[in-house]
Amino acid sequence: MVRAVTVSETGKPSKIQPGVLSASQFTTDAEGAAEATGDATEILYLDVYGREDSDGGITTRRCQLVAGCGSVSFGDEYSIVAEPGWRSVAAGIESGQLIRVTPLTDLAAELAFERVYSETSGDQQDAGWLESGYYSVYSTLQAESQVSRLFGIDSIQSREPADLTQLNEWRKANQSEALASIRYGALLAAWQSYELSYTGTAEAAAFAHAVAQDLVSNDGQLYQKAGGQNLALYDLFDLAANNLSSVSVTDSTVQGYVASVVSSLQSERDAFVDGELTAVVPATLSSLLGDELEDYQLGILRAKAFIDELRNYGQYFFEDGYRDALDDYSNVLSAIGEDNAENLNTLTSAVAEIADFYRDCYLNSGCPSPDAGWEWYSDHSYSAPVLKLNSGTLTVSQAVADINLLDDDDTPTSSRAIDVLMTGRISVNDLILELDHTYDDDVISSPTGVRIFYADTVSVIQDETTSPATGYQLRWTDFTLYDSADVSSDNEAEITGAFSLLYQGVDDPNAAAERRYNIAELVLNSRISDVVDDDTGTDANITTLFVSAAANQAADYYPDSEFSSFNAFFDRAPLFPEGTVTTGLVQYRAGSETVSGRETVYLDYFVEGGDDFRYRFYPTIMREDTADIDGDDNVEELIATHDYEACLLSGDPSSPVVERCEPKQRLNAEQDLQNAVNELWQIGVFSRPEVPGQGIYFVELPTQAADAKGCLTLAELPTSLTSLDGTLYRSAQLGLSNARLTSEVVLDYTSDTDPKTLLDVEISAPYSEQVNVSLALSHDYTSVNTTGVYTGIGTNLDRLLFDFSTENGTVETKTLSVYKDGVDLSLANGTTDTVDSEIILGGDLPLTTGAPVYRYIVGDDGEYRRCVVSNTAEESYSRDPQDAEYTVNYRDKVYGEITYESGAWVIRYIDGTWESLY
């Protein structure tokens, strides 16, 4: 099986998640060849693994050693699964081009990632093999050249290695080609001997990986003889010559080729010096790239010039004059917000106070005395069921809420919610809030006011003592907000739109206090104008603002006050600190039962405070492989399958009842409860239960000793109910857990040509350790791409994109992309250049120290599986921003990297030049 992966814009193979490549798989034919597809404009990463498919077919490898490969004779084949993992990285590929994947290309792949070669030194330019940590066109070609020269092969990536068991077939080949291929084959045969005696480690699963690490630590060199590392060239060449000379060849022409290769290998072997490294250098870039070298050299100059422009990017992102106008406009809005912040809080509270006042009026057939502290109140009159406030400027009534929008009844007589309707005006000092419903043909389609939710069906507003609300929703479906004192002044502004704030009711877990309410969801869809009540279209400055936010723990946490505040992100559950131990958190057992006449096996899993499940596995059924699951192009063969489902349980663990089951999933394997549960455990299903309102616990299930690869597996599942403690390692996060903000600013609404500015931000933070942020700032665009975060499109576009994620928990990833049209670049060679420019900075920051809890390995079926190496909650965390490394990609080519060195951030380019970022 060959896997093909595109190297991303950060110079690293694309990944689905850390440790898992985003690969396309291709099956090799009888000759070991596969036709892979990929983007020829990008660097391509390939690797190869043997595997066993679902019908028992298995990858084999031919023995190339005359003395045999253990019990396997020369020319015979032996099975190989989940190895060897050889890699090959290619740049500038063409359609139909053959790319070899051998242990020698694996060495080049490692070297190309870890080092790049600089041919010259000078002022702020270093020479030799320099540290990198990413793939570039330079390093990819240089590494292939370096390894080819180390082993005396014209090209390890394009040259075909000869099969030593079929040497006579080379009798009709061109002499130079035959000699090169036989040499390559002889060296790989010797390499096979090393592989057969090598024991893999977590750091170097294959012998090639171990040698590749030595090659990198030696800056592209290997020991000629001795040296104490995994491989010395003397030993490899000696073994290759001896093995090749022992091969029986009948064709006289080929005999001559073999003798020549043997002689050459022996001569080179005898010239190797004990304890000395090789002194090989790669071919020059001019010979490797030809005319394309000038393009890359120009790209480096442009990248440097654009980075120089970005040093003052905050000043130059906008065209001359626009930034000053934007700052002035922002200052006006900020001043308005600061001046009215207290009044706005009072207005927001007023809506809830008015709803409570109306309920008291309705239930008591008359209104109580108003609170003397109500700044919004002047007078009232009540004629059931209508309340009028402040000389009739605000009207309050009630209606049954239509919460079922899927039926045809738009005017229900009862439901589980009542709308306290509000229309008119509320004012606090000079801040005015005007409220109205939205209508469809003069019929209310979406009411404004306060929606009160109840547990039972009701037809009128209820007494909070006997029927406490399950939730509240503040609804301003059509509102206008402005400061009357600012009308006709430079600070005149109004906000119009719709606003919704939903509170979720939560009962006291100790049943000792009243029901309280958490913020569950907020939505604001608004427009900010510089003219109040503008019906004539005289607006000049316009801002649209959309905000939405939600909390994923709103229904599970009992807040400290009746109505929780906007505690935003990263507020941990105070009653359940990390490290909390819950005795007997989990109980589990294995069993069997008959379901619809079929014998099933299951695992019951009970979590105190959480959901209880039965994981049920149905009998094995042989089915046609119509989808070619194993990729062998046989869709008529029968493969083993079985169904699996997760069923919610209720009742006591000693006698649970199945409530309902999730849809069945089909697994392409024979029924095996122990193996299936182990695979679910490996991905954290049973070791990391989540308890609503508390967080994620770690449960240490018993395991067997680690296997040869260091992977742990579960001990035999108990058939009697077994209890395990849980330790909280990730506290529940309260408050808002995701948010979206979208805003567009138009400084001259009357113009069709003046530029607009768009900001869009998405934030997701279900836990403090799991944060995802995507931000896009666009300017001077003509249209908007609404896929993902909104981004501008157009010929005059300026754009900034930022992505940040700690979703994996072990690595912090960041990407910053800056695009600017028609940049005037002053190049270091004294010339100027005007070109649309985009630079992308992408980096990873490790967040853990010490051995990982798990890693990903390739299983016998060729698919990734998670290998648990430590039966613990998580690694030790240590975040140092100065450990981050950022690759520099300019116009889709990687040209360098930014690292922190000796107290400063330094950019090192692929040609060996460097400069300080500050």
pLDDT score at 502:
93
Residue 349 in any domain: the answer is yes
pLDDT digits (tens, 9 = 90+) for 588-606: 999 999 999 999 999 999 9
User: Strand runs (DSSP E) across 429-515, as ranges?
Assistant: 431-436, 438-440, 443-446, 449-458, 471-483, 494-506
- CA dist., res. 302 & res. 308, Å (int): 10
What pairs with residue 115 in β-bridges? 131
How large a percentage of the chain has pLDDT more than 90?
57
Indicate whether 368 and 515 sit together in one domain: yes
The most confident of the ranges 305-309, 337-341, 421-425 is 421-425
pLDDT at 508 over 70: yes
Task: From 257, 292, 327, give the residue that closes a domain.
Answer: 292
Task: From 234, 265, 292, give the residue that closes a domain.
Answer: 292
pLDDT score at 345:
79
Indicate whether 146 and 275 sit together in one domain: yes
pLDDT at 194 over 90: yes
User: Strand runs (DSSP E) across 216-298, as ranges?
Assistant: none
pLDDT at 55 over 80: no
Range of the domain at 246: 2-292
Indicate whether 554 and 596 sit together in one domain: no
pLDDT digits (tens, 9 = 90+) for 683-740: 889 999 999 888 899 999 999 999 888 899 999 999 999 999 999 988 887 778 888 9
Task: From 292, 307, 329, give the residue that closes a domain.
Answer: 292
Could you give the angle at the alpha carbon of 21 between the alpha carbons of 17 and 23, nearest 5°? 130
Radius of gyration (Cα) for the chain, nearest Å?
A: 35
CB–CB of 329/745 below 8 Å?
yes
Mean pLDDT of the chain: 89
Helix and strand tally (H, E) in the chain?
11, 50
Domain count, the chain: 4
Indicate whether 377 and 484 sit together in one domain: yes
pLDDT at 772 over 60: yes
Q: What is the mean pLDDT of residues 131-145?
A: 95
Residue 516 in any domain: the answer is yes
- CA dist., res. 737 & res. 740, Å (int): 11
pLDDT score at 749:
61
pLDDT band at 770 (very low <50, low <70, confident <90, very high): confident
Indicate whether 557 and 613 sit together in one domain: no
Residue 666 in any domain: the answer is yes
pLDDT at 398 over 80: yes
Indicate whether 632 and 745 sit together in one domain: no
pLDDT at 869 over 60: yes
Indicate whether 68 and 35 sit together in one domain: yes
Indicate whether 742 and 690 sit together in one domain: no
CA torsion angle 874 879 883 887 (round to 10): 80
Indicate whether 12 and 138 sit together in one domain: yes
The pTM of the full predicted model, rounded to 2 decimals, is 0.83
Indicate whether 630 and 497 sit together in one domain: no
Indicate whether 465 and 550 sit together in one domain: yes
pLDDT score at 536:
52
Residue 326 in any domain: the answer is no
Residue 298 in any domain: the answer is no
pLDDT score at 571:
66
Residue 159 in any domain: the answer is yes
Indicate whether 667 and 797 sit together in one domain: no
Which range among 490-494, 532-536, 658-662, 823-827 shows the weakest confidence by mean pLDDT? 532-536
pLDDT score at 49:
92
pLDDT: is 843 or 247 the higher one? 247
